[in-house]
Structure 1
């Protein structure tokens, strides 16, 4: 049984605080815990191991340089790091494709659900967790089953990188309501994907 989970926000937050103080040991621990999941995510996006490794290294340089700007009130640590990796990957795709992002499950609800599956899973093997996102039909079906407002709140929070407060303002809803929608949406998505992967 694993003694540490890469998705433990409290532990990752403490590591980011230490990294902000230029603590190299904490940075190594953060890298060791999070790089497999982040690499699996960026590999899913880029479909190229060499490019994924390049983006991962650039992303960790960014994390090292910007750990001091991380705010726990705006995003969970893994959300923050995945956003950095995602943006680096998209920048590279645009550069390689004359300013256009490839049309490979990068837009809309499908990509949101892949991001959430990668981010929320506590499986020991991150590549196994990402295997859930390989079947686009299952993902699209699971996302379509979510209540529309839950889906929209999740997209704003995770894909568009808005804080819960900003999502609440955008949707003209109380903060507590938005938090409940996102929590329920994540749980429903996880259960649906797990059910479909077992069949």
Structure 2
């Protein structure tokens, strides 16, 4: 895992090492991006256990297909993320489940047998309010919160992504969450 902003993970080199049979390279990819990739799968399949299974299958695919990676066609990290995303979408389609994305959240919730119509409606209202409250935050707070709670990034990872001091990122998240609590009140 990257320890400093100057220590950048080389996805392309790791994929080439996987293609040569270096299992440690696959492990390094997982250590570097596993949490974020789990977040990608989880946003699509909406169940943690299923997302973990999707991630496992995606890493098997990364391992077996690493030799087909072509850096001339795109970045290694993007290639890895697309495999996870496509694996999750394929699973969701093959299981004939609705994909609750964007404005289709209510349709996906209504299909959940654990929720009655009133519960689905109330949850949909809450999600709509949360979206409105998130839109009301300034961009740095909103982005920090989304990285933390949607992508599963640590505060340090968010600071690296945003090229901001760690203390500033922590303050953005703390103030942003306070604003969300007040807005959702």
Q: TM-score, normalised by structure 2?
A: 0.52
Length, aligned pairs only: 116
Measured after TM superposition, the shift of residue 101 of structure 1 is: 5.0
Measured after TM superposition, the shift of residue 128 of structure 1 is: 5.6
Distance 2:51 2:57 in 1: 10
Q: Does 1:81 align with 2:80?
A: yes
- 1:31 equivalent in structure 2: 30
CA contact (8 A) 2:12 2:71 kept: yes
Measured after TM superposition, the shift of residue 130 of structure 1 is: 5.6
CA contact (8 A) 1:90 1:101 kept: no
Distance 1:94 1:26 in 2: 31
Unaligned runs of 5+ in 2: 105-143, 152-161, 163-171, 180-185
- 2:66 equivalent in structure 1: 67
Distance 1:127 1:31 in 2: 23
Distance 1:17 1:106 in 2: 40
Deviating more after overlay: 43-52 vs 26-35: 26-35
Measured after TM superposition, the shift of residue 105 of structure 1 is: 2.9
Partner of 2:10, secondary structure, is helix
Q: Cα 1:106–1:87, aligned 2, differ >3 Å: closer, same or farther?
A: farther
- 1:52 equivalent in structure 2: 51
Partner residue of 2:147 out of 129, 132, 139: 129
Distance 2:38 2:4 in 1: 18
Q: Cα 1:71–1:77, aligned 2, differ >3 Å: closer, same or farther?
A: same
Q: Cα 1:130–1:106, aligned 2, differ >3 Å: closer, same or farther?
A: farther
Measured after TM superposition, the shift of residue 60 of structure 1 is: 0.2
Following TM superposition, the consecutive aligned residue runs of length 4 or more in structure 1 with deviations greater than 6 angstroms are: none
- 1:151 equivalent in structure 2: none
The CA deviation string for residues 75-104 of structure 1, in whole angstroms up to 9 with x for no partner, is 21121111111111111111121xx75242
Partner of 1:73, secondary structure, is helix
CA contact (8 A) 2:44 2:92 kept: no
CA contact (8 A) 2:18 2:66 kept: yes
Q: Which protein shows a greater Rg?
A: 2
Q: TM-score, normalised by structure 1?
A: 0.49
Distance 2:103 2:59 in 1: 22
Counterpart mapping for 1:119-158 below 5 A: 129=147, 131=149
Distance 1:51 1:65 in 2: 21
Question: What CA RMSD, in Å, does the superposition of the two structures yield over aligned residues?
Answer: 3.4
Counterpart mapping for 1:141-180 below 5 A: none
